[in-house]
Amino acid sequence: MQRIPVLSTNIQSIGYDSQSTTLEVEFKSGDVYRYFNVPELLHQKLMKASSKGRFLNDYIKYSYRYQKVG
């Protein structure tokens, strides 16, 4: 999955696959997480959020199943 670099204090890049509705987040630490069944609209809102880390914590992290990659 291709990720796009973002301006954030703790997130390096974000990718999204609309076919599988999978969100992939790479943190500045190098850790990569995949969040499953995330609606495309939520991904769009994340990309527009002024604080991507806060948006991820408030609306995605604890609401969707996730897996650490690698």
d(CA 20, CA 30): 23
Residues of the chain falling short of pLDDT 70: none
The predicted structure's pLDDT at residue 70: 76
pLDDT at position 11 is: 98
Residue 69's pLDDT is 96
Helix H or strand E encompassing 45 = helix 40-48
E-only strand ranges, 9-65: 11-17, 22-27, 32-35
